[in-house]
Structure 1
Amino acid sequence: MDEAPHEYASPACMLHEVDPAYSGISPGFATKSDVFAWRKIQRQRLIDERKALPVADREDHTRAIASHLDRIVTSVAGKHISLFWPFLGEPDLRGWMASLTARGAVCLLPVVIAKATPLLFRSWKMGDRLERGVWNIPVPAEGKEAVPDIVIAPLVGFDAGCFRLGYGGGFFDRTLASLGCKPLAIGVGFESQKIDTIHPLAHDIPMDVVITQTGVRYR
């Protein structure tokens, strides 16, 4: 992927959960377009840095992340838990996903249906058939649609407020805003992806928890 997907603005939803200081344009930026342009630069830098991490380091970090997740995601039997297929050097949690399935959870993968629409979630476990989705990321070919109790989302970047910098499509923000019962939202990534601020806008929805190899941060 030569360029991250474009960013789409979502409607201002769930502002009661967002600090009022984040409802406007951050100081130093004249317009939302300026914020989006800044994010595009930061996004590419952070992705390049993540991809440059040695494979052994990424694997060590991922094992630590899975251990921290086990402290947060407990009593999983019967719960619907959305994870993600690893992309561009993200933590590979497929082994941890298999352990959730063995413990009785129903694991889901997100599916992009169309630009500027919420994600769908389909069930998947090891051995189930996959097909190529948007950006050639594998998605369940035959899984059942379900609403997640827990959403575990990959981070391109994050800040101290647990705001997530994603790939620019606005899919997770739009999805969290659209769900009638908000799931527990957990962002996972590497500590090197922490930045001072993502310069949150009114449509940005923070994660409830952010987990890196160094530990757990709560919103």
Structure 2
Amino acid sequence: MNTHHLRKQLRQQRLRLSKRHRNRAAYQARRGLNRLQHPALTGKNVKIGIFADAFGEMPTQPLMDWARQRGYGIYLPVVTGKHQPLVFIEFSQKTWRQSRLPRHPLGMRQPEQGKMVKVAALDVVFMPLVAADKIGNRMGMGGGYYDRTLAKAKNKPLKIGWAYDFQLVDKLDSNPWDIKLDALITPSKLWIFRRYLVELSHAKK
């Protein structure tokens, strides 16, 4: 199946899920967060990039609740232009519930104002995806925003995907400019794609 048809099929499959199914999957996936062990998550003033689900993705409210309970700073991606890198705006208590976020013309939900940072200032970024494969290749919505943003960053954060189990496929076509995931969290499993993360994970158990 080519990239276009796979993207279309998986997006439709996401949209067919009931709200109950989506929420249950997200809370199951949250358990995988407790297995994440990495120095980026243990320092002071940890900054986490988290997207607000808007296109049928697995809900990120449990992910935000987890980050908030740990005292992490939460930053949401903001599109500033079609070919511009993403910037990230701090998610304040005023706009804590995602339902209050306004929608961008492209459909994503994002804050309108707040403390703004570049992706290089983040310690971890949770990335939306349509599909991922078993070596960390990622298929996004097709806009290339995350690939462009991360390609220009000298200091890249830990890159973690957040998705349903059916979004993991055996193999994706990839390009030299595609940015791979370091890990993926699904309702049933924490997938580690980088050896140094495997070693850290085992050492911390």
**Structure 2 equivalent of residue 57 of structure 1:** 21
Query: d(CA) in 1 for partners of 2:60 and 2:43?
Result: 16
The answer for unaligned runs of 5 or more in structure 1 is: 1-34
Could you tell me the TM-score, scaled by structure 2's length?
0.82
- Structure 1 pair 46–126 and aligned structure 2 pair: CA distance change class (3 A): farther
How do residues 29-178 of structure 1 correspond to structure 2 at under 5 angstroms? 38-72=2-36, 74-75=41-42, 77-128=44-95, 130-146=101-117, 147-178=121-152
Query: d(CA) in 2 for partners of 1:209 and 1:96?
Result: 15
The structure, 1 or 2, with the larger RCO (C-alpha pairs under 8 Å, 6+ apart) is: 1
Identical positions, percent: 31
Query: d(CA) in 2 for partners of 1:77 and 1:68?
Result: 22
Deviations 1:132-182 (A, max 9, x none): 324232211221112211000112111111111100011111111111211
Query: d(CA) in 1 for partners of 2:171 and 2:15?
Result: 21
Answer whether contact 1:155 1:166 (CA < 8 A) is retained.
yes
Q: Match of 2:89, SS?
A: strand
- Structure 1 pair 130–87 and aligned structure 2 pair: CA distance change class (3 A): closer
Query: d(CA) in 2 for partners of 1:187 and 1:195?
Result: 13
Q: 1:77 offset after TM fit, Å?
A: 5.0
Q: 1:99 offset after TM fit, Å?
A: 3.8
The answer for unaligned runs of 5 or more in structure 2 is: 194-205
Query: d(CA) in 1 for partners of 2:109 and 2:22?
Result: 21
- What's the RMSD between the two structures over aligned residues? 1.9
Query: d(CA) in 1 for partners of 2:94 and 2:58?
Result: 20
Could you tell me the TM-score, scaled by structure 1's length?
0.77
